[in-house]
Amino acid sequence: MSLQTPPPASIGLPRLIAGGLVRYGLILALVAVFAAFSVVTPTFLTPANLQSILVNNFTLLAIVSVAMTFAVASGGIDLSVGTAMDFASFAFVSLVLAGQPVAVAALAGLAAGAFVGAFNALLISAIGVSPFLATLGTLFIGRSVQQLLTNGGNPVYLPPNGVPEAFRFLGHGTIAGFPVPLAAAIVVIAAAAVVFARTRFGRVILSIGIQPGVVRYSGIAAPAHVAVTFILVGLIAAIAGLILTATVTTYIPSSGNAFLLNAIGATFIGTTLSPLGRPNVGGTVLGALLLSIVANGLLLTDLNFYWQQVGTGTLIFAVLALSFINRKAAGA
């Protein structure tokens, strides 16, 4: 991931600076945040901490954000990504606990995530409910179902001595020194990037998000594409659910929802990277990276934990404001 140097901001034309901010606001923010934390906290710029950012903060958020990017690209939003994570996590842990092979349990987890996506797809494509409301309903129902399944929200633990090797490998293993969760995130990111850049499906999804009417009139089966998109969102979120479970060897009801707002934030911050403000995988990944760096860096400062939330929120707000003001100025 190369952080390009932004164009020199010393040129005296305010408009040019503003123009640069439109395009490179996110990258500037990344560089600024990175530099600020390097100066303020002595431990930020250590290899151990940088790895911690990637493995502990970035991995799961990036995967969920990529899922969200698909939903947003198709012109919708998916508020139930956390639900898909949770269902996947629950199926995974339950089956491993029941003595099933890890591979079978993982497949069941992926199926559970896809099932949540399929439920959304049914509501959105077959009935025509708006994605926001459909996935909001799914979120509510999912919360209830999880509480029913767990006697009111009790976590499901795997006994410390009963964790299969393959399970542990998924959460804590390394491939040639590379943490498995991070490798999974990179595979998901790369696959998503290829789908958007190289496949017809990706182009159709983006067109549905931009010009639904035109897509309809050009004879493309838009509802079918949207349905596939939402199933895909559930499936990708399920991957995050599996990794989360494998890392903590526990299923905690409704824990996936913690990722929802940041995933939305990363996706929309990422749209600032595209000249026309479109969702894009690269931008989403940088957005997730920005949020991860901020979360990690603020933790290292002596700042009161609660101020950290204020800091993160203000930063997201500032990046969005910059981007939208400039987008408006650019007439897009």
Partner 1 sequence: MSAEVEFAPSGFSAVEPPPRPVGNFAAAALRFGSLIAFAAILIIFSLTAPYFLSIGNIGNVLGQSAISGVLAIGLTIVLIAGGSNVVTGGIDLSLAANMGLSAAVYVSLTQLGYSDATAIAATILTGALIGTVNAIAVVYAGIVPLLATLAVMNVVAGLELVLTGNTVLPASTPFLSALSASDPFGIPVLAYVLLGFTAITTAIVQYTPLGLRLYAVGEFPDAARAAGLPLRRLLAGAFVASGVSGGIAGILSVSYLSGSTTGAGEMLLPVVVTALLGSVFSRRLVPTVTGTLLSALLVGFLVNGFQLLNISSTLVSGVQGVLILIVVSATTLLRRQEA
CB of 295 to partner 1, least distance (A): 12
CB of 31 to partner 1, least distance (A): 21
List 156's β-bridge partners, or say none.
251
Matching residue, tokens 């983006």: 206
Residue closer to partner 1 (CB basis): 165 or 302: 302
* Amino acid residing at 332: A
Residue closer to partner 1 (CB basis): 132 or 178: 132
CB 299 within 8 A of CB 57: no
Count CB atoms within 10 A of the CB of residue 257.
18
**Helix and strand totals (H; E) in the chain:** 14, 4
Residue closer to partner 1 (CB basis): 18 or 145: 145
CB of 76 to partner 1, least distance (A): 5
Count CB atoms within 10 A of the CB of residue 314.
10
CB 92 within 8 A of CB 245: yes
Residue closer to partner 1 (CB basis): 31 or 136: 136
**What does each C-alpha distance from 128 to 84, 94, 124, 174, 256 come to in angstroms?**
21, 34, 5, 44, 26
CA distance 116 to 110: 10
Q: What one-character DSSP code corresponds to residue 130? A: -
**Long-range contacts of residues 45-53, Cβ cutoff 8 Å, at least 24 apart:** 49/296, 49/300, 51/179, 52/296, 53/292, 53/293, 53/296
Indicate the burial class of 46 (C-beta count within 10 angstroms; 0-12, 13-18, 19 or more).
exposed
CB of 64 to partner 1, least distance (A): 15
Matching residue, tokens 């049914």: 122
What are the tokens at 317? 């707000």
Residue closer to partner 1 (CB basis): 21 or 243: 21
Residue closer to partner 1 (CB basis): 167 or 230: 230
Residue closer to partner 1 (CB basis): 35 or 332: 332
* Amino acid residing at 287: G
CB of 14 to partner 1, least distance (A): 17
Q: C-alpha 158: how far from its chain's center?
A: 26
CB of 160 to partner 1, least distance (A): 29
CB of 332 to partner 1, least distance (A): 6
Residue closer to partner 1 (CB basis): 259 or 268: 268
CB of 328 to partner 1, least distance (A): 4
Residue closer to partner 1 (CB basis): 144 or 161: 144
* Amino acid residing at 55: V
**What does each C-alpha distance from 328 to 6, 76, 305 come to in angstroms?**
21, 22, 35
**Residue ranges in contact with partner 1 by CB under 8 A:** 72, 75-77, 123, 127-134, 136-145, 147-148, 152-153, 209-213, 216, 261, 264-265, 268, 276-278, 304-314, 316-317, 320-321, 324-325, 327-328, 332
CB of 42 to partner 1, least distance (A): 25
